[in-house]
Structure 1
Amino acid sequence: MTTEPRWKRARGWADLRGRREGGLAFLLMRLTGIGLVIYLFLHLYVLRLLAQGPEAWDAFIATAKSPLFLTLDGILILGLLYHALNGVRVTLLGLGIGVPLQARLFWGVMALTLLLTGVAVYAIFALTG
Structure 2
Amino acid sequence: MEKQPNHPSPIKFWTWFNPIGRQTGGWAYILQRVTALGLTFYLYLHLMVLGLLAKGPEGYDQFLVLAHSPLFIFGELLVVAAGILHGLNGMRIALTTLGVSVTRQKQLFVGLMTVAVIAILVFGIRMFTV
Query: Normalization by structure 1: what TM-score?
Result: 0.90
Tell me if 1:120 matches 2:123. Answer: yes
- By how many angstroms is 1:15 displaced? 2.1
Counterpart of 1:124, as a letter, is M
In the alignment, is the contact (CA less than 8 A) between 2:53 and 2:63 conserved in 1?
no
CA distance in 2, matches of 1:4, 1:81: 35
Q: Name the Cα RMSD after superposition.
A: 1.6
Q: Is the 8 A contact 2:81 2:120 kept in 1?
A: yes
Deviation for aligned residue 1:6: 3.1
1:10: Cα distance to partner? 2.1
1:62 corresponds to: 65
Counterpart code for 1:46: V
Paired residue type of 1:58: D
- Deviation of 1:5 after TM superposition, in Å, equals 6.3
Judging by fraction of residues, say which structure has more helix.
1
CA contact (8 A) 2:28 2:109 kept: yes
The match for 1:36 is 39
**Residue in structure 2 matched with residue 105 of structure 1 by the alignment:** 108
Identical pairs, percent: 38
Partner amino acid, structure 1, of 2:125 = Y
The within-5 A match list for 1:8-47 is: 8-47=11-50
Gaps of 5+ in 2: none
In the alignment, is the contact (CA less than 8 A) between 2:52 and 2:62 conserved in 1? no
Query: Which stretches in structure 1 are left out of the alignment for 5+ residues?
Result: none
Alignment size in residue pairs: 127
Cα pair distance change 1:20/1:50, threshold 3 Å: same
2:98 maps to 1:95: yes
Q: How many angstroms apart in 2 are the aligned matches of 1:7 and 1:112?
A: 36
Offset of 1:96 from its aligned partner? Answer: 0.5
Query: Which moved further from structure 2: 21-30 or 1-10?
Result: 1-10
Q: Is residue 85–residue 116 contact of structure 2 (8 Å, CA) maintained in 1?
A: yes
Whole-angstrom CA distance in 2 between matches of 1:33 and 1:77: 12
